[in-house]
Amino acid sequence: MIEPLLSLDGLTKSYGAVVACNGAGLQIAPGEAHAVIGPNGAGKTTLIGMVAGELRPDSGWIKFAGRDITRLPVQDRPALGLARSFQITSVFPRFSALDNVALAVQAQAGGNFGSWRDARQDADLRAPALACLERVGLGARAEIPARVLAHGEQRQLELAMVLASKPRLVLLDEPTAGMGREDSARMVALLAGLRGEVAMLLVEHDMDAVFALAERISVMLGGRVIATGTPAEIRADVQVRRAYLGEDGAEPC
Amino acid sequence: MSVPPYRAVLFAGLAFALALPLLAGVLGLDYAVGIATRILILALAGIGLNLILGFGGMVSFGHAAFFGLGAYTVAILSHHDMTGEAFATWPFEIGGTVAAILAWPLAMAVCALAALVIGAISLRTGGLSFIMITLAFAQMLFFFFVSLETYGGDDGLSLLARSSAGPLDLHDPAQFYFLVLAIVLLALAVTARWSRARFGLALQGIRDNERRMRALGFATTRTKLAAFVISGAIVGLAGALMANHTEFVSPSFLSWQRSGEILAIVVLGGLGTVFGPVVGAVVFFVLEEVLSQWTQHWMIVFGPLLVLAVLFAKQGLWGLAAQKLARHD
Amino acid sequence: MLLILEQVLNGLQLGVMLFLLAAGLTLVLGIMNLVNLAHGSLYMVGAFIAASAAQWTGSFLLGLLIALPAAALVGIAVEVIALRNLYERDHLDQVLATFGLILFFNEAVAMIWGPRALFIDPPSWLSGAVEILPGVPYPAFRLAILGIGLAVAGFLYWLVARTRLGMTIRAGASNREMAGALGIDIKRLYTLVFGLGAMLAALAGVMAGPIYAVEAGMGEQILIPAFVVVVIGGIGSIRGALAGAVLVGIADTLGRAFLPGIIGAFLGPAAASGAGAALASMAIYILMAAVLIWRPRGLFPAHG
């Protein structure tokens, strides 16, 4: 196998007596779309939190692009090419859609202090931001305040902000959460378009989306990764079926 | 050619400010120049606080600390200039001075340094703890100056004279007024520019969602600390001007009521608006002036007014006005 | 050694008074998420009403019995008229609005009772001294404060931890909607908690009467240390408020009693009155900064 872009090994995190993550590990190759599934409380969100740097693991390590980033602060991770989107839509409501993405570009450019120029007239920020908005299909909505955008559009905006930081790996925490069928399909199509270009670590409850997008899937249960494989392998895996998919035949929400 | 109402109001305000000493002279209201100077100085303090409160969402309840520190810096330097004793003999001799060109930037530097220390500790917390720890630092400095017998302690310290500023005579009310006005205009221009530059946008992003900003890769604590330091320095300059205006400083410059006043000025005017603090300061003092002529117990009216303003005029007066005016643009 | 014992008792007594205020503050903060700067005003109102009532009836106890419900009523009125509308607002709005209330109350008290300070005489049976150790007298009234304060602390602990009302309060604190769904009348609960806090503040105010001056502005002199207590203890925690109050009370009292002497011994008498006194009055704020550097959420963080 090629050198993985991200590898997690033995990640453990507990809150008091509750062990949310218990020695979880997985590897993602450059450009790979990788989904993590599992019932509620399996430790998926904790895992994402640790990779993003918001939670500090009790033990285990995280390697990204050959570098140990286990203890690297959140704000230093995007510069390495590690970006995340949030489960709860987390845009800047008072700013326009374009302002939102321009902030992400600005973060990527670094250096907030030197410039006296009006940042809203700054082509170095605006042009790449607009390109990202167009890529997610929001080009025509650039000047609309983010709070006015529909829920689905806000999720698209999230994605544009993530793309603006030129990531090599995107952490997607339930990208289709709370979306209708149509919005959901549009988001899946957008994400599918990124495959091969950007690696994705995806946590998702919508199994249709997972099987449509992921090249490989890891199943979490009780804070551990109990199986990893292609969608076909996961469908066929007896352990997974018994532990998770098989219980009542439907995906748990 | 038509001028948009928003601009028209600003130009009218500026014209009035420029003409005020002349008007006051003609109308025989010479004391008005002093009042206007005082209003402008508090507006400057408001502009400083607004930078972190309005644009950065940091509720500091201790900004009077910087106001007082700035004022005391000027007063203590002037005191040593009068007595001829050195302020410090180690590591090198530092004497007193009354030169504005030395004392005022020094006041700002002292406040910037204090803000760096206070900010570095306070910004580790958030929410109520931040409000209280900034208040605690202001109280510390308040009691420090109360016990500082060398410089008057509780009784305060009188300045023998206002600062000297080259060809300007700051004892002339109009000249002092114009100097303060120029400084306020400069501060407004800087705020207007800054709030739209990368730094200002980053600060506003942090105010609205700090967690998201960190996830985007912003070093949010450093940005907030930088704003806190600049804010402290501006408020310190306001304090230095106030020491010159009243020719007297006392620990009450650092009292928590003063911190509350500056907060009220910013919020009354309109949080995170460039001109809000000026409007807030004008309204605050006109109210004080009007109410205190009516009754010596003017606070009993002012207090409930403040409550009503918070409950029903959330955007502040300039915030409301700017919105109305923009609609006609 | 005996001096130290006496000062420690003084510190505990100040701590107990601070606790009575901090308990109300921290309950209101933890449950309603409201920063109430005007809490000190209720302390002041309690003291003034007690001073008048005691003078009028000639009895300290009657003064106390009149002041407590009266202050609770004032507190409830303030909650219903003004503060109720602030629960959903941010801390900044709450700070400003309650700052406005302080201005109002200080001026109102000055108008009603005049600018001069009042004093309350302690009841005669508490005006003497008690020998706490053979040959060591200590004012009985201060001991009584200590006893009452500790009893109130015990009562509050019992109320919050063991009773149905306490369970309701805790349910309301952890989840508003949930409590509402369980059929708890949140509005009435809040008003009740506020009245309780007001009564505790007034109790502190009445007990302060014989020791400190009863005057306009007295509320803020104790309010700010009480907030220091709340922040040190951890917002919303009664246990934290008690621990913080004792810490702050002792640090403040011992600091004032001994720091000037200690500094003077090293640096001479001039430094004792200057640096020593300055450090002593800054002690509690330095303590708070130190605690927050060590534990940014206070000693006993209440939630998560």
Catalogue all structural domains in chain B, each as residue range(s) with its CATH number.
Answer: 5-327 (1.10.3470)
Angle (CA) B197-B232-B265 rounded to 5° is: 85
Please indicate if any CB of chain B lies within 8 Å of the CB of C273.
Answer: yes
Nearest to B217 among A94, A108, A125 (CB): A108
> Which of residues 76 through 135 in chain B touch C, CB cutoff 8 A?
121, 124-125, 127-129, 131-133, 135
Please indicate if any CB of chain C lies within 8 Å of the CB of B306.
Answer: yes
Contact C100 B302 (CB under 8 A): yes
Please indicate if any CB of chain B lies within 8 Å of the CB of C109.
Answer: no
Nearest to B193 among A76, A77, A116 (CB): A116
Please indicate if any CB of chain A lies within 8 Å of the CB of B308.
Answer: no
Contact B213 A115 (CB under 8 A): no
CA–CA separation, A89 vs C162, rounded Å? Answer: 40
Contact B304 C104 (CB under 8 A): yes
CA–CA separation, A63 vs A155, rounded Å? Answer: 28
Please indicate if any CB of chain B lies within 8 Å of the CB of C65.
Answer: no
**C255-288 pLDDT, tens per residue?**
988 888 888 888 777 777 777 878 888 899 999 9
Contact B297 C110 (CB under 8 A): yes
Contact A90 B218 (CB under 8 A): no
Domain boundaries, chain A: 1-81+167-253, 93-166
Tokens 């009216």 correspond to B301
Residues of chain B with pLDDT under 50: 1, 329
Please indicate if any CB of chain A lies within 8 Å of the CB of B202.
Answer: yes
Locate all alpha helices (DSSP H) within A21-147, ordered by sequence. 44-52, 97-109, 123-135
- Chain centroid, CA B37 distance in Å: 13
**Closest chain C residue to the Cα of B315, Cα to Cα:** C93
Please indicate if any CB of chain A lies within 8 Å of the CB of B189.
Answer: no
Three-state secondary structure readout of A26-51: EEECCCCEEEEECCCCCCHHHHHHHH
pLDDT at C171: 66
**C18-65 pLDDT, tens per residue?**
999 999 999 888 888 899 999 999 999 999 999 999 989 988 999 999
Neighbours of chain C (3+ CB pairs under 8 A): B
CA–CA separation, B120 vs C260, rounded Å? Answer: 29
DSSP letters for B157-215? EE-SSPPBBTTB-TTSHHHHHHHHHHHHHHHHHHHHHHTTSHHHHHHHHHHH-HHHHHH
B248 beta partners: B158
pLDDT at B240: 97
Q: Nearest CA to CA, how far is B57 from chain C (Å)?
A: 9
pLDDT at A217: 93
Angle (CA) B138-B144-B147 rounded to 5° is: 145
Residue A248 reports pLDDT greater than 60: no
Nearest to B124 among C235, C281, C293 (CB): C293
DSSP 8-state class, residue A145: B
Half-sphere exposure at residue A110, Cβ-oriented, CA atoms within 13 angstroms? 6
Q: Nearest CA to CA, how far is A248 from chain B (Å)?
A: 37
Please indicate if any CB of chain B lies within 8 Å of the CB of C32.
Answer: no
Contact B300 C93 (CB under 8 A): no
**C126-175 pLDDT, tens per residue?**
888 888 878 778 888 889 999 999 999 999 888 888 887 777 777 666 66
Locate all alpha helices (DSSP H) within chain B, ordered by sequence. 5-27, 31-53, 64-83, 100-122, 127-147, 173-194, 198-208, 210-216, 220-246, 256-269, 276-294, 299-312, 317-327
CB A133 within 8 A of CB A101: yes
CA–CA separation, A219 vs C193, rounded Å? Answer: 48
Please indicate if any CB of chain A lies within 8 Å of the CB of B217.
Answer: yes
Please indicate if any CB of chain B lies within 8 Å of the CB of A72.
Answer: no
pLDDT at B3: 66
Mean pLDDT of C244-261: 92
pLDDT at B283: 92
Contact B198 A118 (CB under 8 A): no
Kindly report the CATH number that applies to the domain delimited by A1-81+167-253.
3.40.50.300
| Higher-confidence position of A111 and A3 | A3
pLDDT at C267: 78
Best residue in B299, B305, B312 for a mutation probing chain C (most C CBs within 10 Å): B299
Please indicate if any CB of chain B lies within 8 Å of the CB of C140.
Answer: no
Please indicate if any CB of chain B lies within 8 Å of the CB of A89.
Answer: no
**B91 upstream amide cis, omega within 30 of 0:** yes
Write b or e for each residue in C252-264: b if 16 or more Cβ atoms lie within 10 A of its Cβ, otherwise e: bbbbbbebbeebb
Contact B59 C35 (CB under 8 A): no
CA–CA separation, A211 vs B298, rounded Å? Answer: 71
Question: Which has the closest alpha carbon to B60: B115, B137, B134?
Answer: B134
Please indicate if any CB of chain A lies within 8 Å of the CB of B282.
Answer: no
CA–CA separation, B131 vs C68, rounded Å? Answer: 30
CA–CA separation, B199 vs A147, rounded Å? Answer: 22
pLDDT at A249: 44
Q: Nearest CA to CA, how far is B256 from chain C (Å)?
A: 9
pLDDT at C304: 38
Contact B196 A107 (CB under 8 A): no
**Closest chain A residue to the Cα of B212, Cα to Cα:** A90
Contact C103 B306 (CB under 8 A): yes
Residue C211 reports pLDDT greater than 70: yes
Average pLDDT value over all residues in chain C: 87
Residue C119 reports pLDDT greater than 80: yes
Please indicate if any CB of chain B lies within 8 Å of the CB of C103.
Answer: yes
Tokens 């997972």 correspond to A210
Question: Which has the closest alpha carbon to B268: B201, B315, B311?
Answer: B315
Question: Which has the closest alpha carbon to B212: A207, A157, C37?
Answer: A157
Nearest to B59 among C91, C292, C298 (CB): C91
CB A84 within 8 A of CB A167: no
A:B CB pairs within 8 Å: 84
